[in-house]
Amino acid sequence: MYKNVKSRRGGFSRGRSFGGRSRRPNPSAVHSSMYINKAVELPEQVSEPIKHRFTDLSLDNRLVDLVTARGYVTPTPIQDKAIPLVMGHRDVIGIADTGTGKTAAFLLPLLHKFLKDRSQKALIIVPTRELAVQIEDELRVFSRGLHVFSALCIGGGGFGSQINALRRNPQFIIGTPGRLKDHLNRRTLRLNDVANLVLDEADRMVEMGFIDDVRELISQLPKQRQSLFFSATITPEVRNLIANFTVNPESVSVKGRETSQNVDQDVIRYTDAFQKLTLLHDILTQEDAKKVLIFGRTKHGVEKLCNTLIERGFSAVSIHGNKTQTQRQRSLNEFKTSKTQVMVATDVAARGLDIPDVTHVINYDAPENYADYVHRIGRTGRANKKGKALTFVGMGA
């Protein structure tokens, strides 16, 4: 328990916004008791034995050299299972969490296909700009010196540079559904020669309302193609999407123990907006609050809170939809590399991003539902480390 911070079980409240205005109760709200849970000491998890080394996955030797130069000898479980299937030209459904190495699980075999046949092209669809940038960064590492071109098609920036990249006939097109659809409508993107499809964080795209855009994009692809779907969970909507756009897919699953088991979870009770901010200030001054991710509900509220924390002397950055992609990426990089103590974000940062060593997740505004809560707190307590999650809950609301 944090000093000067009271916490107890009680009725759930959506709480108040940063400006102090009350909101109507959410009919699908979660009882605050579900935000309270102690991390437990669990025996070390026994995973399935790895069957391969990178040197015996039949990957092009140039790829193996690039991988081993980074110090990787043994693939992760999802790579061990998925790469041979992708190499065998199977459609694949991969169920795996962020941070399990799934990006390399599809990039490496697709790069292998390209090196064997330079006419190969891949479309990689992801829910957020940050994840798209993360994937392109990994692609550049694994394709260094191999003359591979990519086009990054995401919002938050102008069309000019993206159109120029698409004109270079790239082997990899990586983008978010909305911007990819914009290019399709402008006729700056054509997909009739793209024979490889990757849908990453498919469940998140459904949650964010992108399913119709995704369906339209996939409908433009050749019927003869390889389709790879990666998701943390397989919802009925995702299952229907997979059924419509794959042929006899092979499923592989690598799910570790729930991240929340490594996270101490508690609620922070407050009476008004001033006390709420004061309590947050007290938490951020605790010695163990070294790298703190704070979630807010709205873009305006997130930016206002970030500016207030900076005025109070904290090192803070923000990520939300009103920022340009350059601004968002700069904020993310500063937080990832621990140049700043605090990142304040909307739910755009709740999924897909691999941010190391987050000590605390603070729900300054309560999430819309329990699934969102689990994804938020999953940013801490990773790689068998302990984490802390605190959720602000209004008193008597």
**pLDDT at site 380:** 87
Question: What CATH class has 32-43+258-394?
Answer: alpha beta
**pLDDT at site 348:** 82
Single out the residue of 222, 211, 246, 232 nearest to residue 92, CA to CA: 246
**pLDDT at site 383:** 67
- Tell me the residue length of the chain: 397
In sequence order, what DSSP letters do the residues of 252-313 get, joined into one string? Answer: EEE--S-GGGGEEEEEEEESSHHHHHHHHHHHHTSTT-SSEEEE-SSHHHHHHHHHHHHHTT
d(CA 142, CA 146): 9
Residue 22, phi then psi, degrees to nearest 5 = -75, 155
**pLDDT at site 21:** 36
In sequence order, what DSSP letters do the residues of 78-126 get, joined into one string? Answer: HHHHHHHHHHTT--EEEEE-TTSSHHHHHHHHHHHHHHH-TT--EEEE-
In sequence order, what DSSP letters do the residues of 19-37 get, joined into one string? Answer: T--B-PPPTTPPPGGGG-B
d(CA 270, CA 148): 54
Chunked in runs of 10, what are the mean pLDDT values of the chain (397 residues)? 41 35 44 74 59 93 93 91 95 84 94 94 94 93 94 89 95 96 96 95 84 94 95 83 91 70 88 95 95 95 96 95 86 94 90 84 90 84 83 80
Instruction: Sketch the domain layout of the chain as residue ranges.
Output: 32-43+258-394, 54-254
d(CA 87, CA 59): 8
**pLDDT at site 39:** 67
Same fold, 32-43+258-394 and 54-254: yes
**pLDDT at site 382:** 75
Single out the residue of 217, 215, 261, 271 nearest to residue 240, CA to CA: 215
Q: Which fold has domain 54-254?
A: Rossmann fold (3.40.50)
Instruction: Give 341: exposed, middle or buried? Use CB within 10 Å, 0-12, 13-18, 19+.
Output: middle
| Predicted model pTM | 0.72
Residues 296, 331, 381, 131, Cα dihedral to 10°: 90
**pLDDT at site 12:** 30
Cβ contact 278:312 at 8 Å: no
Give me the sign of the Cα torsion angle 219, 179, 110, 336: negative
Helix (H) or strand (E) holding 317: strand 316-319
- Cα 17 versus chain centre, distance: 25
| Per-position b or e across 27-38, b if 16+ CB within 10 A of its CB | eebbebeebbee
Q: Which long-range contacts (CB under 8 A, 24 or more apart) does 61-64 make?
A: 62/115, 62/145, 62/146, 63/108, 63/111, 63/112, 63/115, 63/142
